[in-house]
């Protein structure tokens, strides 16, 4: 399976990128092909402009060259993974803008839906599991990503995996998080 792994973090030396590296290592060991799409390195513009605004009245819509390129890239892959920090109990603006612009009407929803077999959302939370559960943030994020985005766009095999306490710099804790990411790559699509 070809997996497009989209990473959203401004720093390449971040835990988010270390998690992404271990995740794709697991993918490769499991026999999957992958491409890492680093939204910050490609200079993706997350701001939705008029040319990319969804038009439900159009039978077919063309988009900006940047969005058309990303649509082509998505079409080359069988499955998706997103690796990102959870900021303000949500996706980072860069990743939200990518979904707003690229997962557009007529491609991801509307007259067509995504063809991808699976999507995995790996969110890095500074909070503990207990803190996330306290106000049901974990359930809300999971529902938003699995139902509000993936299922709406035709991908019923969607899973959210949260890595907790990512601000804890204890080396053993970091290694545990990286091992979780590796396990997610090794078992991609098996546990969904």
Residue with tokens 């030396």: 13
d(CA 80, CA 3): 5
Question: Domains in the chain, start-ordered, CATH in brackets?
Answer: 2-186 (3.40.50.360)
Mean pLDDT across 86-111: 94
pLDDT of residue 161: 97
Percent of the chain with pLDDT over 90: 91
pLDDT (tens digit per residue) in 12-43: 999 999 999 999 999 999 999 999 999 999 99
The model's pTM is: 0.95
- Distance between CA atoms of 75 and 162, rounded to whole angstroms? 27
pLDDT mean over 79-103: 96
**SS3 state of residue 13:** coil
Mean pLDDT of 68-82: 98
* Alpha helix stretches (DSSP H) within 33-128: 65-75, 93-102
pLDDT the model gives residue 118: 97
pLDDT tens digits along 53-71? 998 887 778 999 999 999 9
pLDDT-derived band at 192, boundaries 50, 70, 90: low
Q: Is it the case that residue 184 has pLDDT exceeding 70?
A: yes
Q: How many CB atoms lie within 10 A of CB 121?
A: 24
**Structure tokens of 132?**
């996330």
Per-residue pLDDT, averaged over 101-106, amounts to 95
């Amino acid at each position: 399976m070809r997996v497009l792994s989209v990473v959203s973090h401004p720093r390449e030396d971040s835990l988010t990128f270390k998690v992404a590296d271990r995740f794709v290592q697991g993918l490769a060991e499991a026999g999957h092909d992958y491409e890492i799409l680093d939204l910050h390195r490609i200079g993706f513009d997350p701001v939705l402009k008029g040319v990319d605004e969804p038009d439900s009245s159009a039978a077919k819509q063309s988009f900006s060259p940047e969005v058309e390129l990303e649509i082509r890239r998505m079409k080359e892959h069988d499955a998706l993974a997103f690796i990102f920090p959870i900021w303000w109990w949500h996706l980072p603006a860069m990743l939200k803008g990518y979904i707003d612009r690229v997962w557009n009407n007529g491609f991801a929803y509307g007259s067509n839906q995504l063809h991808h077999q699976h999507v995995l959302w790996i969110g890095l939370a500074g909070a503990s599991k207990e803190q996330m559960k306290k106000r049901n943030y974990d359930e809300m994020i999971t529902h938003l990503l699995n139902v509000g985005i993936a299922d709406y766009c035709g991908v019923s095999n969607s899973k959210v995996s949260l890595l907790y306490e990512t601000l804890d710099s204890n080396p053993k804790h970091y290694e545990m998080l990286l091992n979780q990411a590796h396990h997610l790559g090794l078992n991609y699509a098996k546990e969904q």
